[in-house]
Structure 1
Amino acid sequence: MCSALVDSRQAQSCRMTRRGSDRLDLRQLIGPARRSIVVAALTAVIVSARRPCAIEETIVLATARGPRSRNMIARSEETQMIPIRNAVPSRYPPVITWMLIAANCLVFIFQDSLSPSELVLLVRQFALIPALYSDFLASGETDLAASDFLPFFTMMFLHGGWLHLILNMWTLWLFGPSIEDRLGHGRYLAFYLVCGLAASLAHVLFNPVSIVPALGASGAIAGILGCFMRLFPLARIVVIVPILFIPLFVEVHAFVFIGLWFLLQLFQSTMGLLLPSSSGDVAWWAHVGGFLAGFALGPLLVRSRQRYRVYYPDEGMFGFDPEGRM
Structure 2
Amino acid sequence: MVIPVHDVNPARRTPYVTYALIAANIAVFLITPGTLTGGSGLSQLCHLQAFLDHWAAVPRELIHGQLPTTVPTGDVGVGAGGPGCVVGPPGYDKSPQLSVLTAMFLHGGWVHLLGNMLFLLIFGNNIEDRLGHVRYLLFYGLCGYAAAYGFALVNADSGDPLIGASGAIAGVLGAYLVLYPKARVWVLVPFLIFLPLRLPAWIVLGFWFGLQAVYSSGTGVSEAGTVAYAAHVVGFLAGMLLAWPLRRGTPPPPEPRGLLWGRRAGHRW
TM (norm. structure 2) is 0.75
Deviation at 1:276, TM superposition (A): 11
Q: How does 1:106-255 map to 2 (within 5 A)?
A: 106-111=27-32, 112-113=35-36, 115-136=44-65, 147-244=95-192, 246-255=193-202
Q: Percent identity?
A: 42
Check whether the contact 1:183–1:303 (CA below 8 A) recurs between aligned residues: no
- CA gap 1:276/1:212 in 2 versus in 1, 3 angstroms: farther
Aligned to 1:280: 225
Deviation at 1:318, TM superposition (A): 4.7
- Counterparts of 1:168 and 1:82, CA distance in 2: 12
My pick for the range that moved more, 104-113 or 288-297, is 104-113
Check whether the contact 1:130–1:209 (CA below 8 A) recurs between aligned residues: yes
Deviation at 1:280, TM superposition (A): 2.7
Aligned to 1:103: 24
Any idea what SS the aligned residue of 1:212 has? coil
Deviation at 1:93, TM superposition (A): 0.3
Any idea what SS the aligned residue of 1:216 has? coil
Q: How many residues align?
A: 225
Task: Please provide the CA RMSD for this pair.
Answer: 2.8
Does 2:4 align with 1:83?
Answer: yes
Deviation at 1:295, TM superposition (A): 0.3
Any idea what SS the aligned residue of 2:95 has? helix
- Counterparts of 1:134 and 1:83, CA distance in 2: 35
- Counterparts of 1:292 and 1:214, CA distance in 2: 19
- CA gap 1:185/1:206 in 2 versus in 1, 3 angstroms: same
Deviation at 1:278, TM superposition (A): 6.8
Supply the AA of the counterpart residue of 2:4. Answer: P
- CA gap 1:120/1:277 in 2 versus in 1, 3 angstroms: same
Per-residue deviation, residues 51-94 of structure 1 (Å, max 9, x unmatched): xxxxxxxxxxxxxxxxxxxxxxxxxxxxx311011111101000
Deviation at 1:243, TM superposition (A): 2.0
Q: 1:316 aligns with which of 233, 246, 254?
A: 254
Aligned to 1:68: none
Aligned to 2:87: none
- Counterparts of 1:270 and 1:290, CA distance in 2: 16
Supply the AA of the counterpart residue of 2:60. Answer: A
Deviation at 1:227, TM superposition (A): 0.2
Check whether the contact 1:241–1:248 (CA below 8 A) recurs between aligned residues: yes
Supply the AA of the counterpart residue of 1:269. Answer: S
Aligned to 1:293: 238
Aligned to 1:71: none
- Counterparts of 2:155 and 2:176, CA distance in 1: 28
Any idea what SS the aligned residue of 1:319 has? coil
My pick for the range that moved more, 101-110 or 124-133, is 124-133
- CA gap 1:269/1:188 in 2 versus in 1, 3 angstroms: same
* Higher share of residues assigned strand: 2
- Counterparts of 2:28 and 2:199, CA distance in 1: 34
- Counterparts of 1:276 and 1:131, CA distance in 2: 25
Does 2:179 align with 1:258?
Answer: no
Deviation at 1:135, TM superposition (A): 2.8
Deviation at 1:279, TM superposition (A): 2.5
My pick for the range that moved more, 112-121 or 81-90, is 112-121
Supply the AA of the counterpart residue of 1:212. Answer: D
* Higher share of residues assigned helix: 1
Per-residue deviation, residues 143-177 of structure 1 (Å, max 9, x unmatched): xx782321111111000111111111011000000
Per-residue deviation, residues 71-124 of structure 1 (Å, max 9, x unmatched): xxxxxxxxx311011111101000000000000000001112585433222200
TM (norm. structure 1) is 0.63
Supply the AA of the counterpart residue of 1:270. Answer: S
- Counterparts of 1:107 and 1:317, CA distance in 2: 39
Check whether the contact 1:184–1:303 (CA below 8 A) recurs between aligned residues: no
Gaps of 5+ in 2: 38-43, 67-92, 259-264
Any idea what SS the aligned residue of 1:279 has? coil
Gaps of 5+ in 1: 1-79, 138-144, 321-325
- Counterparts of 1:90 and 1:136, CA distance in 2: 42
